[in-house]
Amino acid sequence: MTASTRYRPLRIGPFVSETPVVLAPMAGITNAGFRRLCREQGAGFYVCEMITSRGLVEKNPLTRRMIAFSDDESPRSMQLYGVDPVAMGRAVRIVAEEGLADHVDMNFGCPVPKVTRKGGGAALPYKRRLFEAIVMAAVDNAGSIPVTVKMRIGIDDGRHTYLDAAQRAVGAGVAAVALHARTAAQRYSGTADWSAIARLRDAVPAEIPVLGNGDVFSAADALAMVDRTGCDGVVVGRGCLGRPWLFGDLEAAFAGRPLPEPPTLRQVAATMHRHAELLEEHMRTDADPTKGIRDMRKHVAWYLKGFPVGPEVRRRLGLINSVDELDELVSALDLDQRFPPEADGPRGRQGSPGRVVLPEHWLDDPDDVTVPLGAEMENSGG
């Protein structure tokens, strides 16, 4: 059996990607410019930054600005966050009626204390009936738009919620279930437990795609995740930070083709230039013309991880205010350098595990459907 017959295209509702890959929603990262850069490398689903149901319902101008898709983006995947079935239903109805997106993914995986403290994100699936009501409200108002959920294993090792939550989400009519195979207590630390993805694949009806997420940093990792868990697609987050060509590697690997050579620094420089241009184009406003290039600074650090650049150049790259400045600093480097093997592996958030901060009495009654107070964030972006 060749690789290309071993791996199947990924279907989410009516949408099909020959390469079973999803760009993970990442707040502050997966804006329209970054998604376009990734789409230029390889096929897949590319999900936007998190949008809050409240921001949509209250017509928050920042939220509206964040819902930006390129003309050629298809499907337009939007991630929504919410804790209130009524607000979520109204938000999804707005998306459907105003044609704001073609696919809605729901965030039940955020481990940030400011979110879980209020009962949102990864804290929410523990309240199983409330979780179910939110998902139902989304699906019922989505019309023909497919709705998916993205969640974690549970709150901590004593409270795994993913199997129950997946059954409820499937019962509510979701088109796919994605699992970041860590608990909220793990945050981004340690390693993802892919065996949970395999258990989820076994527990969910075969016609509902299960998407595996956590620690896919290379094409080999992606194939290994599918081989070991039987999942229908992989969701890639930190692995593509400073390495958008990973999507080209993934396309080749899933099609059974040899991987492209890793880029030289000259090719990395060209990708950084393109990325900076796209961020400028998509983020600049008259009031803040350098917003895009300032956002690029963190990406430059990821791109250059492992390259011997020197502290002074790194420092100056951290202060760039234009694409020209970026190009000038980079052009002084030895551009024929090969991609350093030590640049492989994790990047972006890692951190350490910690106790999950929850609202008082949150764990007392998993069947309580009271909407947690103050957990509806107004601002989008996570």
Ligand X SMILES: Cc1cc2nc3c(=O)[nH]c(=O)nc-3n(C[C@H](O)[C@H](O)[C@H](O)COP(=O)(O)O)c2cc1C
Residues marked active site are found at 110
Q: With binding defined as CB under 6 A, does residue 204 bind ligand X?
A: no
Q: At what angle do helices 219-229 and 246-255 cross, to 10 degrees?
A: 50
**In this structure, are residues 202 and 166 in contact, taking their beta carbons and an 8 Å threshold?**
no
- Residue 170 per-residue DSSP state: H
Site for ligand X in 250-269 (CB under 6 A): none
Across the strands, what pairs with 211? 178, 233
Q: With binding defined as CB under 6 A, does residue 216 bind ligand X?
A: yes
Which CB sits closer to ligand X, 213 or 218?
A: 213
Please give the distance of CA 273 from its chain centroid, rounded to a whole number: 23
Binding mask 345-374 for ligand X (x = CB under 6 A): ---xx-------------------------
Query: What is the C-alpha to C-alpha distance for residues 212 and 196, in angstroms, rounded to an integer?
Result: 9
Please give the distance of CA 140 from its chain centroid, rounded to a whole number: 24
Binding mask 312-331 for ligand X (x = CB under 6 A): --------------------
Query: What is the C-alpha to C-alpha distance for residues 211 and 39, in angstroms, rounded to an integer?
Result: 19
Is there a binding annotation on residue 26?
yes
Which CB sits closer to ligand X, 25 or 33?
A: 25
Which CB sits closer to ligand X, 42 or 239?
A: 239
Residues 39, 150, 160, 187: which binds ligand X (CB under 6 A)? 150
Residues 10, 26, 219, 356: which binds ligand X (CB under 6 A)? 26
> Min. distance of Cβ 82 from ligand X in angstroms?
12
Q: How many residues bind ligand X, per CB under 6 A?
A: 24
Which CB sits closer to ligand X, 213 or 323?
A: 213
> Min. distance of Cβ 224 from ligand X in angstroms?
13
Nearest to 11 by CA among 148, 171, 150: 148
Omega before 311 within 30 of 0, i.e. cis: no
Region of 55-63, 67-75, 210-218, 358-366 interacting with ligand X (CB under 6 A): 210-218
Query: What is the C-alpha to C-alpha distance for residues 301 and 176, in angstroms, rounded to an integer?
Result: 34
> What is the per-residue burial (b if ≥16 Cβ within 10 Å, else e) of 202-240?
eebeeebbbbbbbbbbbbebbbebbeebebbbbbbbbbb
Q: Which residue is nearest to ligand X (CB)?
A: 237
Please give the distance of CA 45 from its chain centroid, rounded to a whole number: 10
Binding residues for FMN: 25-27, 79, 150, 180, 237-238
Residue ranges binding ligand X (CB under 6 A): 24-29, 50, 79, 107, 109-110, 150, 180, 213-216, 236-239, 348-349, 382
Binding residues: 25-27, 79, 150, 180, 237-238
